[in-house]
Amino acid sequence: MRSALALLLVLAASPAVAEPSCADLIERVRAATKAEVAERGADFARFDAGPRTGLTLSCAGDQSSVGAQYKGETAPADYETLFVQAGHAVTGIAPDRLREAARQAQDGAQAKRHSTVDVDGARVTCASMRREQGALTQCALLQRPST
């Protein structure tokens, strides 16, 4: 009984695990993807990730999200890798789980223009659009609020 009470007191006195700051998340995404930070704000960053490819990071509040955009008809093979690397850096979700969810969401988006897949407390949402300016493929990984 005493050891259980002592453990509770130690846990209560321990500082809570802090969520990473936006600056930390920006650095994680940059390091994981090798993308260049093109624009940076207090709770937002935009990255250049290659020809016609970009990343965005929103870290307002406790529900960070990361997105990948490709301007073109068919996203290159490294688009999925980029998205998975950025998503893992932000959420810590296993890359193989993110890759499978992203593939399912992209396949759904090709058929229906928009698709979502839940994965390990987060949601992958992908869209495939055709506009006057050309085709656009985009996927985002959104953390879900913990309850």
- The CA-to-CA distance between both ends of the chain, in Å, stands at 30
Say how many domains are in the chain. Answer: 1
Domain assignment of residue 65, yes or no:
yes
Q: What is the pLDDT along the chain (147 residues), one digit of tens a residue?
A: 444 333 333 334 444 445 789 999 999 999 999 999 999 999 999 999 999 999 999 997 778 899 999 998 788 889 999 999 999 999 999 999 999 999 999 999 988 889 999 999 999 999 988 878 788 999 999 987 665
Q: Assign residue 77 the CATH number of its domain.
A: 3.30.1460
Domain assignment of residue 106, yes or no:
yes
CB neighbours of 127 closer than 8 A, spacing ≥ 6? 109, 113, 114, 115, 136, 137, 138, 139
Domain around 28? 19-143
Helices (H), the chain: 2-13, 22-33, 77-91, 95-112
Position 15 scores a pLDDT of 42
Domain assignment of residue 12, yes or no:
no
Domain assignment of residue 11, yes or no:
no
- β-pair partners for 135: 130
Domain assignment of residue 1, yes or no:
no
Domain assignment of residue 13, yes or no:
no
Position 133 scores a pLDDT of 78
